[in-house]
Amino acid sequence: MPPEAILVRHPKNTGYGRSLLSGIDRASHDLIAIIDADGTYDPREFGEMLPLTGMYDMIIGARRIEKQTVFVKALRLLLRSIIFYFTSHRSPDPNSGMRIFRRDIVTSGRELFSLKFSFSTSLTVYSCMTNRFVSYVPISYGDRTGISKVSHVRDSLRTFFLILSMGLMFRPGHCIFAQTVLFLFGAALLASFGMIGPGFWGMAAGITWIILHLTVLAAFQAYIMSRLYERLRDRP
Please write the tens of the pLDDT for every residue from 49-63: 999 999 999 999 999
Residue-level pLDDT at 109? 85
Q: Please, are residues 163 and 82 in contact by the beta-carbon 8 Å criterion?
A: yes
52 vs 43: CA distance, rounded Å: 16
Q: What percent of the chain has pLDDT over 70?
A: 83
Identify the pLDDT of residue 67: 77
Asked if 43 and 35 touch (Cβ cutoff 8 Å), the reply is: yes
pLDDT in tens, 141-172: 888 887 777 776 777 888 888 888 888 888 88
Q: Where are the alpha helices (DSSP H) in the chain?
A: 16-25, 46-49, 70-87, 103-109, 119-129, 152-170, 172-192, 200-233
Q: Residue 34: beta bridge partners? A: 99
Say what the pLDDT of residue 163 is: 85
Read off the pLDDT of residues 98-147 as tens digits, 9 standing for 90 and up: 999 999 999 888 888 888 888 999 999 999 999 999 999 999 988 888 77
Cα separation values, 149 from 35, 110, 143, Å: 16, 24, 15
Measured CA to CA, the distance from residue 55 to residue 112 in angstroms comes to: 25
What is the b/e burial string over 211-228, where b = at least 16 CB atoms within 10 angstroms of the residue's CB?
A: eebeeeeeebeeebeeee
Query: Under a CB-based contact definition with an 8 Å cutoff, are residues 213 and 186 in contact?
Result: yes
Task: Name the DSSP class of 194.
Answer: T
Task: Label residues 42-54 b or e (16+ Cβ within 10 Å = b).
Answer: eeeebeebeeebe
Closest by Cα among 134, 99, 95, 129 to 112: 129
pTM above 0.85, yes or no: no
Average pLDDT, the chain: 83
The domains located in the chain, with CATH, are 16-168 (3.90.550.10), 172-233 (no CATH)
